[in-house]
């Protein structure tokens, strides 16, 4: 990862950092955090049973200058499925409310290390913005490295987060929003629908990987959301997302990632599609595969929550 000396720095766009590498180190971010063309987003989000409030935690401790990106707020308002990808217009409105421009680089982090930040990294890429990276190890590694956090999020940062969610609401209600500073370019090959997964089961052109736990995949542990049976999409393989990370919640090396993927019988020479419970942790698999040069892997956005609640979709469980 390229580094830069603190002090007089060139504009962010001239820094030697590759979009082929999906993460940046905390040392790199600390060295470049004052660059005006670099925006930092706290995208912390937790599973419902964890009973943690990411916005409250952001207000208590955040990386200096970070804005809070609400995964449950920047979402499609036309579906009951959780945090589905919003429309192009809605995403552009929300990102513009943050004050982010197309020339800006974006670094996303979360409170676990690498968890929900990968989802927002994927969202930006799905809308054509490749200058986006996940902070390797997230807030825990930032703090463990001795770097400062803001104990009170600035008022204007909180206002921007609220404005982003309000902008989404206005778009879906057909109301006017503020000026757009961020232009989207949707990348449909990175986002799969229910119908695409159904077709994939038939033609078997894609290897389908599932980021949920083996117990949920096998149908022996309940889903965290009530009323949804556990199990898996026929033909898919289970690669629980923690297998992409080391003990400090940073992304494994290329060699270790290749080994993990190979152990699961996945070929890097064939197309891959990823899913999980609601489209969040699948993005961690995509992040890991991006490091291996697989930069075109789609996420099935509705994932298991959509699949398992359809009346006509086949469900598989482990063979006993």
Residues with catalytic roles = 276
Backbone angles phi, psi at 192, to 5 degrees: -105, 150
Please give the torsion angle defined by the CA atoms of residues 111, 38, 287 and 43, in that order, rounded to the nearest 10 degrees: 30
d(CA 21, CA 118): 13
8 Å CB contact between 111 and 138: yes
Q: How many CB atoms lie within 10 A of CB 128?
A: 14
The DSSP secondary-structure symbol of 249 reads S
Cα→Cα distances 138→23, 46, 62, 147, 250, Å: 10, 14, 11, 12, 8
d(CA 20, CA 131): 10
Q: Scan for tokens 């022996």, then name that residue.
A: 220
8 Å CB contact between 89 and 96: no
């Amino acid at each position: 990862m390229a580094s830069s000396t603190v002090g007089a720095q060139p504009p962010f766009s001239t820094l030697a950092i590759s979009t082929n590498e999906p993460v940046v180190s905390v040392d790199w971010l600390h060295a470049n955090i004052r660059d005006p063309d670099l925006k930092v987003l706290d995208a912390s989000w937790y599973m419902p049973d964890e009973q943690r409030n990411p916005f409250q935690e952001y207000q208590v401790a955040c990386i200096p200058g970070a804005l809070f990106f609400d995964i449950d707020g920047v979402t499609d308002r036309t579906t009951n499925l959780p945090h589905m990808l919003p429309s192009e217009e809605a995403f552009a409105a929300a990102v513009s409310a943050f004050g982010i421009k197309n020339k800006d680089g974006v670094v996303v982090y979360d409170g676990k290390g690498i968890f929900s930040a990968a989802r927002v990294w994927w969202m930006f890429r799905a809308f054509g913005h490749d200058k986006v990276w996940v902070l390797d190890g997230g807030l825990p590694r930032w703090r463990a490295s001795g770097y400062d956090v803001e104990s009170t999020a600035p008022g204007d940062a909180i206002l921007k987060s609220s404005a982003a969610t309000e902008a989404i609401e206005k778009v879906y209600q057909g109301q006017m929003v503020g000026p757009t500073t961020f232009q989207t370019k949707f990348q449909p090959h990175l986002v799969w629908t229910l119908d695409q997964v159904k077709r994939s089961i038939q033609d078997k052109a894609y290897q389908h990987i599932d980021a949920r736990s083996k117990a949920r995949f096998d149908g022996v542990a309940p889903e965290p959301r009530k009323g949804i049976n556990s199990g898996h999409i026929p033909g898919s393989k289970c690669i629980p997302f923690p297998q992409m990370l080391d003990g400090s919640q940073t992304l494994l090396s290329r060699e270790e990632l290749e080994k993990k993927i190979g152990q699961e019988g996945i070929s890097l020479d064939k197309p891959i599609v990823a899913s999980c419970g609601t489209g969040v942790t699948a993005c961690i698999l995509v992040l890991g595969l991006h490091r291996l040069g697989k930069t075109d892997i789609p996420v099935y956005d509705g994932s298991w929550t959509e699949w398992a609640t359809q009346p006509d979709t086949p469900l598989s469980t482990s063979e006993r």
